[in-house]
Amino acid sequence: MMSVKDQIKALNSNLAIKQNAKESATHLIKDAKDVIEEVLEVEDRKALYFLQCENCVYTIQGKPIKLSIEKCKNLTLKIEGKVLTGMVDIWKSEDIHLDFDRSVSVFQLDSIKTISIRMPDHEYFGSMVWAGVEGIKLHLGDDTHEMSYSQLQVRNPELRPETDQFKTTLVNGSVKTEAIVRLENGYPATRAEEASFQRLEKKKDEVLRGGAHPENEEDE
pLDDT at site 184: 63
Q: What is the pLDDT of residue 179?
A: 82
Beta strands in the chain, from DSSP E residues, in sequence order: 26-30, 38-42, 47-51, 54-62, 67-70, 73-79, 87-100, 104-119, 125-140, 143-147, 166-171, 174-179, 181-182, 188-189
For the entire predicted model, the pTM comes to 0.74
Cβ atoms 132, 161 nearer than 8 A: yes
DSSP-derived secondary structure letter, 84: T
What is the pLDDT at residue 171?
87
Phi then psi dihedrals of residue 64, to 5 deg? -65, 150
| Angle value at C-alpha 85, between 178 and 102, nearest 5 degrees | 80
Radius of gyration (Cα) for the chain, nearest Å?
Answer: 22
**Count of C-beta atoms within a 10 Å radius of residue 205:** 10
pLDDT digit string (tens) for the chain, length 220 residues: 444 445 445 455 444 434 444 556 899 999 999 999 999 999 988 999 999 999 999 999 999 999 999 999 999 999 999 999 999 999 999 999 999 999 999 999 999 999 999 999 999 999 999 998 999 999 999 999 999 888 777 777 666 666 678 899 998 888 998 887 655 665 556 655 555 555 665 665 666 676 555 454 444 4
* Pairing mode of beta strands 47-51, 73-79: unpaired
Check if the beta carbon of residue 151 is closer than 8 Å to that of residue 109: no
Task: Tell me what pLDDT residue 2 has.
Answer: 45
Residue 19: the pLDDT is 45
Strands 181-182 and 188-189: antiparallel
First to last CA, the chain: 73
Cα separation values, 145 from 116, 135, 140, 177, 206, Å: 10, 10, 8, 11, 42
Q: By the 8 A CB rule, do 143 and 116 touch?
A: no
3-state secondary structure of 46: coil
Per-residue confidence (pLDDT) for residue 152, from 0 to 100: 76
pLDDT at 150: 82
